[in-house]
Chain A
Amino acid sequence: MATATTDIPLPGTRRQTSGVLGKASYVWWFFRRYPVFPIFILSVLVIASVIGPYVAPYPRDIGWLGDRHLPPFTTSPHVEEARENGINTGFHLLGTDHIGRDTFTRILHGARISMMVVAVSLGIGFTVGTTLGIVSGYFGGWIDEIITRAVDIWFALPFLLVALIMTLIFGRGLNILMIVLALISWTAFVRILRSQALILREMDYVAASRIAGAGSIRIMLKHILPGLLNTAIVVATLNVGGLILAEATLSFVGAGIQPPTPAWGVMVASGRDYLQDAWWQIVMPGSSIFLVVISLNFLGDWLRDRLDPRLRQVD
């Protein structure tokens, strides 16, 4: 019977490589040691979001109605007919949706939207959360009390509900969605960075710089922030997956991005009406979300083990 023994090579060790089997085992070792697969998926995502809309084979919002619900890997039977009407159609890698739009094209556009939403909301969440975390941990006292209390309250609110109410008040759209997601993301930063700042402010070098006459703002920026930047990056990476899920969920429920803009959540939502005829309409955008979130999780875990192993306890 197997016992708990580790078969993952320790960091820094190198396998003896000889022959085909040795090569294969080295490749396997390399794949387990470095996040090759996540980095590959995420690079594809980033590249797709930058150049995707320019290389996409077909128009985003217009399709030839005769092509509705074409399964993946099919060529449209109506190429000539559609061209006469000024619509470009042909081979559809991931099939088409209920009005004949190319799924692959829409997923490429969706990648850009996801990236944009996540980048902006994470940027806001990162800045606000890190600032509040440092301030809260550094000053302590009633400032700390207020900030942690606010985080606790915010944590008790079901986020989907807040998002629904907010979209109701301020209208649906991209900007509101980004703000809602930023509101979700900041708490994690405060929670974790506050405790780090609490430790760092007791350090001797902080005391030394205070004796040398540095002000609070200077100490926070020059001495505390660099000390917890690693942690902040890890928290950010682990957060992105959650944000993408949240964005997709909100768009699915109808509180996020509105059709015909092809966010992945929107695509799944519209595919829901055609479960019987067109499974690819749900599976394709769904697996895009899945792959990206999983890659981010793996990358986050790896970064955490690399940059800040203490955080392992937190999660």
Chain B
Amino acid sequence: MRGVWKGIHMGTFLLRRLFSSLISVFGATIVVFTLIQMHNDPRELFVPDTGYGITQAQWDNLGTKLGFDRPVVVQYLVWIGRAVRGDFGVSLAQQRPVTTIIKGKIGATIQLAVGGWIFAVLLGVPTGVIAAVYRGGIWDYVARGAAIIGIGAPAFVTGLILIIIFSTKLNWLPAGTRGLEFDVRDYILPCVALGWPAAAGLMRLTRSSMLEVLDSEFVKLARAKGVPWRTVVFKHALRNAIIAPLTSMLLLFSGWLNGALVIETVFSWPGIGFEALFTAVNDNDFPLLLGTVFIFILIFLVFAFIADLLYTIVDPRVRLSGFKGTA
């Protein structure tokens, strides 16, 4: 009987989460839509700077074509209706479908994000474990020092300093832009710059939860029973301490977007943040802008939802406290 209730409770919790995620998607797109409406008319993009303007008839025609003659609410509903089906309209400045543009650019961003993620996880979790096991030792200080840099230095400064050291001074790695052929060396600097702050966060999280577990009764018991230290660390402690870093790893992706935009600017990376978003904002290309925002928010919420899901499965305590997994 209890099991059934537990299942229902879990179901309603997830349903509520899903519902509030959907509200967030709508709310966020409404915010952006309203903001864009407050800006000057996107039709001005079509008016040449020099020479002849366009006639009133052409202006009105353009308005009808883009749907400006209808009320804003209707415009929004039409847009969201199409967006749900994967149609974001046609970019004003480039005259190509927004979906095509995003598809063309998002690959580079995903590569960057995944690379940074791998760096963050590979660096953050092991150093966290080492720092906890050798607490107060030299490696603890080294790891915490590296974490301090990750937390305090803005990603663009880290990125530029990496370029100064490894590209201009030592001349080991390229300073940016991905070549046509795959080359691991192109990825190292951007991924390190993007992943460093995240690695720092992961390291601190792993370290503190490892310390907590190492201090617990069952670890002491295992030690007292004569279980080898190595087994205690990896089998007893790490398995219990990994929960918090695990969910945090997933959430990394959702927080990645701001970082990716900056890193793409620093390294002239041909991704969605720099190429699509930056130009879209500057051109006031509202279909492209809305499309990118929609995709960004969707990614954010999907990962936040997965992290919540994982959290409720792994750690049932959070279900009662109504934890919001979007830290």
Residues of A within 8 A of B (CB): 1-5, 7, 149-150, 152-162, 164-166, 168-169, 191, 241, 245, 248-249, 252-253, 265, 268, 271-272, 275-276, 279, 282-283, 286, 289-291, 293-294, 297, 315
Contacts and interface: CB of A to CB of B under 8 A. Distances in A.
B177 interface: no
B164 A166 contact: no
Given A241-B152, A249-B154, A160 B293 contact: no
Contacts, number: 153
B84 interface: no
- What are the 4 tightest A-B residue pairs by CB atom distance, in nearest-first order? A153-B27, A286-B157, A294-B152, A4-B214
B306 to A, nearest CB: 15
Contacts of B215: 4
Interface of B: 20, 23-25, 27-28, 31-32, 35-36, 38-39, 132-137, 148-149, 151-157, 160-161, 163-164, 167-168, 175, 211, 214-215, 223, 229, 257-258, 261-262, 265-266, 277-278, 281-282, 284, 289, 293, 296-297, 300-301, 304, 324, 326-327
B161 A286 contact: yes
Contacts of B154: 245, 248-249, 252, 265, 286, 289-290, 293
A45 to B, nearest CB: 14
Contact of A282 (B135, B164, B278): B164
Main secondary structure of the interface of B (DSSP, over half): helix
Contacts of A291: 152
Nearest to B175: A275
Contacts of A293: 151-154
B136 A168 contact: no
B132 A4 contact: yes
A1 B20 contact: no
Contact of B28 (A153, A268, A297): A153
Nearest to B30: A153
Given A290-B157, A294-B148, 18 more contacts: A2-B133, A4-B215, A5-B135, A152-B24, A152-B326, A153-B24, A156-B28, A156-B301, A157-B31, A158-B296, A165-B32, A166-B35, A253-B261, A275-B175, A279-B168, A286-B160, A293-B152, A294-B152
